[in-house]
Structure 1
Amino acid sequence: MIPMMLIASFLMFVVISFSGDPLAGLKTMQPPPPPEVLHAMAVKLRLDQPLLDRYWMWLSGLFVGDFGPSIHNIDIGAELVKRLGVSLRLLALGIVLAFLMAVAASVIGAVLQFSWADHIISFVAVAMISMPVFWLALQLKRLAISINQELGFRLLYTSGDGAGMTASTPWDRVLLLIGVLALPTIALSMQACGKWSRYGRVALIDALNSEYVKLARAKGLSETRVVLAHGLRTSLAPMLTVVAAGGAVILGESVVTETVFQWRGMGDLLVTGIQNNDVYVVLGWLLVAGLIIMVFNLIADILYAVLDPRIRYER
């Protein structure tokens, strides 16, 4: 992971450095700012330094928690930590929900192959894959508004990440947490669930048709144990590959989801950084996103050996 992060950080820095002029917004202001102001801002953003020197200053600063200067004088490191805590709630819950629903759909589809239940699950999965995240999020907001109006109180929150909201009792806090997380989590997990369930169904069907599963049936094991202990456990390994590879997609979709539901998480930080041409904010976001994706793949690699006894990592 360390050499991959170094290579990724250098490529990100080069691409972002050549993507545009960070001072373009200031230069187009009317009336334009004095040349002294532009020069001072260029020095602050290290634009007067060669590209490799700027990269080294940024990279070496990361080891002491300095993510570089911001146009709007924000502490990028502290802001990333705060926003990451907000986004990880949505990401973790969305991935877990999508994975559990995909596993359940895979088992039903594989065990009841070509039945009416399998056809319905396949149709729903394709429908979920076809729905853009922003469209689904908007429809969920409309549905939530109607539900709240029918109930006469706010059960589901259509905007905000819960920051600053208080509840008087533990039960009210639970309802508040559910109300805030429900809509964004569903919007984020639906498309991933559809994709993963299709892969999981095929993998489980292959596993159930293998020789060792036929042997398990011949030994008199119950069908439930054959499917869950032998077939499902083996089929989860290729499914984890798809989940790990889809981490980047879910991370990108979380930006859209947070924007629609007005969460002040990593997605909002990225959008604001792009709009303000805040180069080091965008670089910090990309660095954290790259690290998250690599951690997903690392966890998947470790779980391979846990799920499949034929795989062992040795020196």
Structure 2
Amino acid sequence: MLTYTIRRLVLSVPTLLFIALVIFMLLQLAPGDPMAQVPLTVPPEVKAKMREALGLGQPAYIQFWKWLVQMFWIEPQVFIDYLTQRSFLFSWLPDTHFYTACGPEVQGACDLRVISWQTRSPVMDIVVQRLPQTLWVVGMAYVVGVLIALPIGIYSAYRQYSVFDQAGTFITMIGFSIPPFFTGPLLIVLFSVKLGWLPFIYDTTHVVNSWESFVYQIKQMIMPVMVLALQTTAQISRFMRASMLDNLNQDYVRTARAKGLGEAVVVMVHVLRNSMIPVVTVIALLVPGIFGGAIITEVIFSVNGIGQLLITALFANDLPMVMTLTFIFAFLIVLFNLIADVLYGILDPRVRYD
């Protein structure tokens, strides 16, 4: 298993590099100019210097190589310096000074980070600021979706063709069919406009310091979490139901019942463990997908996360920001594919990768 994991990690590097190259080439071919948002009052010679400072006048392969160096060499140095200097867990380590910021007071060599063309700030600093909002909403939606989907799938399979099973099938089909860009506005019209129960704008500056502020935080999270959790619940519950039905008809289940084991032990121990083998794979592989759904959901509910940041960067033709965010999404896909394969081998003793 260890050899397989190392091999997959090594093979993921050229995969991610190829994805980054494809994204870079597509963005190079896209219409638009990053300097289009500069006010018309700025003189042309100043615009030319700004283009030169952003590296827009350089050949495409030079821009791509600089982005690779900044992303894979300079940004890790910044992260290590942060861990040893300001983080709570690793501040006891000796301070490191791998990264040297460029500036008028710096003499000699310095390191230039990935800079956003739109905000003129380091891309990773903006991503780190936005990431907690996305992780909070997406993580809560995924936990809620999994916790709801598993019991529904188990009970639907055990009570096949019952009223509960048919109702669950109907609801999951709705979850499969309705996209987030329809579900979000529908919930806003129903719960915010008509009933006035929930706020339709997610306040990312809200601070929880009392019971009332905690209640408000729960209220403003309900709708975006519901939108993201609906599709997750629908997919996982259907996989759970199908896997349970497949295992309930196996010979070992009849043998366990013939030995006098209780129905709860047969279903919740023997059948459930074998049924979870393909479902765990689906759960792991759906994590990158829910981040994709969060892009639309964050725009609808004004969640100040990385999904909304990606949409803003696309409209502004901010190449470094778009490349960094898409690379993060690609990294999540590769990572959770690896996690799914490893979990599959752990749960099923018959699977051997080495």
TM-score (norm 2): 0.78
Other-structure match for 2:179: 132
Other-structure match for 1:165: 206
Q: 1:174 to 1:32 in 2, by over 3 A?
A: closer
1:76-124 Cα deviation digits (max 9, x unpaired): 1100111111101111111121122221111111101112211111011
Q: 1:21 to 1:136 in 2, by over 3 A?
A: closer
Alignment of 1:153-302 (within 5 A): 156-161=198-203, 163-169=204-210, 171-302=211-342
8 A Cα contact 2:35 2:47, kept in partner: no
Distance in 1 between residues matched to 2:212 and 2:222, nearest whole Å: 15
1:249-276 Cα deviation digits (max 9, x unpaired): 3222101111111111011111111111
1:5-46 Cα deviation digits (max 9, x unpaired): 22222222222222234347259x7x5864424432332332
8 A Cα contact 1:145 1:158, kept in partner: yes
Give the partner amino acid of 2:69.
Answer: S
Deviation, 1:142, is: 2.8
Q: 1:47 to 1:174 in 2, by over 3 A?
A: same
Give the partner amino acid of 2:321.
Answer: V
Q: 1:251 to 1:168 in 2, by over 3 A?
A: closer
Deviation, 1:148, is: 6.4
Other-structure match for 2:96: none
Q: How many residues in Structure 1 have an aligned counterpart in Structure 2?
A: 305
CA RMSD of aligned residues (A): 2.4
Q: 1:25 to 1:158 in 2, by over 3 A?
A: same
Distance in 2 between residues matched to 1:299 and 1:228, nearest whole Å: 24
SS of the residue corresponding to residue 246 of structure 1 reads: helix
Bigger CA drift: 39-48 or 78-87? Answer: 39-48
Other-structure match for 2:54: 45
Give the partner amino acid of 2:70.
Answer: G
Other-structure match for 1:152: none
Distance in 1 between residues matched to 2:279 and 2:209, nearest whole Å: 42
Question: 5+ residue gaps in structure 1?
Answer: 150-154
Distance in 2 between residues matched to 1:311 and 1:257, nearest whole Å: 38
Distance in 2 between residues matched to 1:104 and 1:166, nearest whole Å: 34
Distance in 1 between residues matched to 2:316 and 2:129, nearest whole Å: 20
8 A Cα contact 1:45 1:71, kept in partner: no
Other-structure match for 2:150: 103
Question: 5+ residue gaps in structure 2?
Answer: 1-11, 76-112
TM-score (norm 1): 0.87
Alignment of 1:3-152 (within 5 A): 3-23=14-34, 25=36, 34-62=43-71, 63-65=73-75, 66-145=113-192, 149=196
8 A Cα contact 1:233 1:308, kept in partner: no
